[in-house]
Amino acid sequence: MEELRAVILAAGEGKRMCSSVPKVLHPLCGRPMLNYILDSAAAVADDPIIVIGHGASLVRESIGPQWSYAVQEEQLGTGHALMQALPQLPEEGRLLVLCGDTPLLEKRHLEQLIREHNDNAATVMTTELADPSGYGRGIRDSDGSVLRIVEESDASTAEKEVREINSGTYCFDLKLLRCFLPRLSSENAQQEYYLPEILTLMREQGHRIGAYRIDAWPVALGINDRCQLAEAAAIMRERINRSLMRQGVTMIDPSSTYIDYDVRIGADTVIWPQTLIEGRTVIGSGCRIGPAVQIINAEIHDEVMIRQSTVEESVLETAVRVGPFANIRPGCRIGRKVKIGDFVEVKNSVIGAGSKLPHLSYAGDADIESGVNLGAGVIIVNFDGRKKHRSSIGAGSFIGCNSSLISPLEIGAGAFVAAGTTVTRDIPAGALAINRTGQKNCAGVGERLLSKNSQQEKEATKEKK
Ligand code: UD1
Ligand code: CA
């Protein structure tokens, strides 16, 4: 079989995105759009070449050094972009040409294009759109074969009516491509070297041009602006969700479930609505996630339950309970069966198995051993205005409600902190720490204060009147 190679055109600025980020780096479900078509290309062809130009170093950096690149210094059109890759390609064989902004094309679509190509000089992938505006139109001859592609800006009113569009995806005979590519002109509305013009040139010389019309139109969607980005993201999201559901994940409402491409989720986990799972998050089996949860780059083991909360860059071990309304910030390792309840924030802390932070607490830079109970309102005061400090709490300790632990502190195992204590010194294992001011009860004073207050209030309302 003839050699098959691929080139991905990705040098354009993407003006219609109105962005400082090169278009092909705009993320779709958590990864640059360019990565999708690159995956599809690499699945069918050897060593794909990416043509970069606008923001070249940024693109190279985020896509990685493992791929081959060609540089188009000046963006003079798709035909000119392809020319830049020619020196790195063999003299003959077949060449797939793809656009960096069509992320929905999968391996199977490219394979079909290659089959349809057979021994044509060139084969273009087309599709029919209800609204073809913005795309090049495929103009067919009376015998039904594709004559040429006309760009929207060069099209006549009648040509604009044509709904069959050029997807920007082609298969070429490399030898013929080398022969015709230098002949492209830039005499058109955009004064660019249009790659599709090559089809006209080849045909004029009697070469056979094929068109593979793909029925499932959204796969050919090209992203030129943010509306198309959102449209493509919705389709990609649906693909991701379907694939997870087929692997045994239940989604109560897939349409309100936002899961990034690289996320992994185990079977029998149930995802409730309004949930976002991002980055490289891995979730085990039998979990209950949501409603209204955001998880970013976290490792969640089995049987974890998280409701109305956020979790970022942390590990949650088996059977942890989080929420509602908790915030687990980066750097946490939460042990088995720990309970993190409502309005609790945890940051850069290790919490041992079975410990409980059920309500209204802050634990920052702390090592909390197993079986510890933090009462409501306990604050680990880790910041003195200049520096952060770390504290540790030994196994089985009980920290009473509304205590402040001023870090750095070492609290021994089985310590007891009385409610309302401000702890400023280490506590030995098994000790009780208490430092509340002694309470005085002044007979009748409460009553007097209340009646005085109501007297003043009455006078104030009178004055107003
Ligand atoms: C292009 C096609 C159009 C087709 C559409 C499909 C041309 C002239 N037009 O139009 O027929 O319907 O794609 O989506 O080919 N690029 C470069 N260097 C350049 C210009 C572009 O590398 O100098 C890259 C871009 O980064 C992009 C791809 O080529 O990934 C397509 O360019 P774009 O400007 O998006 O072309 P369209 O106007 O969409
Ligand atoms: Ca485009």
Give pLDDT < 50 ranges for the chain: none
Pick the atom of ligand 1 nearest to 196's CA: 15
Pick the atom of ligand 1 nearest to 51's CA: 22
Residues 192 and 261 in one domain: no
Please give, one letter per residue, the 3-state secondary structure of the chain.
Answer: CCCEEEEEECCCCCHHHCCCCCHHHCEECCEEHHHHHHHHHHHHCEEEEEEEECEHHHHHHHHCCCCEEEECCCCCCHHHHHHCCHHHCCCCCEEEEEECCCCCCCHHHHHHHHHHHCCCCEEEEEEECCCCCCCCEEEECCCCCEEEEECHHHCCHHHHCCCEEEEEEEEEEHHHHHHHHHHCCCCCCCCCCCCCHHHHHHHHCCCCEEEEEECCHHHHCCCCCHHHHHHHHHHHHHHHHHHHHHCCCEECCHHHEEECCCCEECCCCEECCCEEEECCCEECCCCEECCCCEEECCEECCCCEECCCEEECCEECCCCEECCCCEECCCCEECCCCEEEECCEEECCEECCCCEEEECCEEECEEECCCCEECCCCEEECECCCCECCEEECCCCEECCCCEEECCEEECCCCEECCCCEECCCECCCCEECCCCCCCCCCCHHHHHHHHHHHHHHHHHHHHC
Residues 144 and 10 in one domain: yes
Residues 288 and 143 in one domain: no
Q: Report which bound ligand comes closest to the CA of 15.
A: 1
Domain of 280: which CATH number?
2.160.10.10
Q: Specify the residue with its C-alpha closest to ligand 1, atom 31.
A: 99
Residues 355 and 279 in one domain: yes
- Measure the CA–CA gap between 33 and 105, rounded to whole angstroms: 11
| pLDDT on residue 183 | 97
The answer to whether position 118 is within a domain reads yes
Q: Report which bound ligand comes closest to the CA of 197.
A: 1
Residues 285 and 410 in one domain: yes
Q: Report which bound ligand comes closest to the CA of 139.
A: 1
Please give, one letter per residue, the 3-state secondary structure of 100-159.
Answer: CCCCCCCHHHHHHHHHHHCCCCEEEEEEECCCCCCCCEEEECCCCCEEEEECHHHCCHHH
Residue 73: which domain range?
A: 4-220
The answer to whether position 225 is within a domain reads no
Q: Specify the residue with its C-alpha closest to ligand 1, atom 25.
A: 12
Residues 178 and 266 in one domain: no
Which of 15, 49, 54, 99 for a ligand 1 pocket mutation test, highest count of atoms within 8 Å of Cβ? 99
What domain count does the chain have?
Answer: 2
CA of 78 to the centre of ligand 1 (A): 6
pLDDT tens string 18-71? 999 999 999 999 999 999 999 999 999 999 999 999 999 999 999 999 999 999
The answer to whether position 152 is within a domain reads yes
The answer to whether position 374 is within a domain reads yes
Domain of 14: which CATH number?
3.90.550.10
Domain-terminating residue out of 205, 220, 235: 220
Q: Specify the residue with its C-alpha closest to ligand 1, atom 29.
A: 9
CA of 372 to the centre of ligand 1 (A): 61
Domain-terminating residue out of 220, 239, 258: 220
The answer to whether position 57 is within a domain reads yes
| pLDDT on residue 465 | 67
Residues 198 and 280 in one domain: no
- Measure the CA–CA gap between 192 and 80, rounded to whole angstroms: 8
Residues 264 and 181 in one domain: no
| pLDDT on residue 461 | 76
The answer to whether position 184 is within a domain reads yes
Pick the atom of ligand 1 nearest to 102's CA: 14
CA of 101 to the centre of ligand 2 (A): 6
Residues 28 and 176 in one domain: yes
Q: Cβ < 6 Å from ligand 1: which residues?
A: 9-12, 51, 53, 72, 75-78, 80-81, 99-102, 135-136, 149, 151, 165-168, 194-196, 222, 224
CA of 344 to the centre of ligand 1 (A): 50
| pLDDT on residue 319 | 98
Q: Report which bound ligand comes closest to the CA of 220.
A: 1
Pick the atom of ligand 1 nearest to 220's CA: 14
| Cα dihedral 265/267/268/271 (nearest 10) | 20
Residues 303 and 165 in one domain: no
| pLDDT on residue 320 | 99
| pLDDT on residue 411 | 98
The answer to whether position 449 is within a domain reads no
Buried b (16+ CB within 10 A) or exposed e, 78-100: bbbbbbbbbeebeeebbbbbbbb
Q: Specify the residue with its C-alpha closest to ligand 1, atom 10.
A: 135
Pick the atom of ligand 1 nearest to 77's CA: 23
CA of 147 to the centre of ligand 2 (A): 21
Residues 213 and 362 in one domain: no
User: Contact 309/334 with Cβ under 8 angstroms?
Assistant: no
What positions carry a catalytic annotation? 359
The answer to whether position 456 is within a domain reads no
Residues 270 and 197 in one domain: no
CA of 326 to the centre of ligand 2 (A): 42
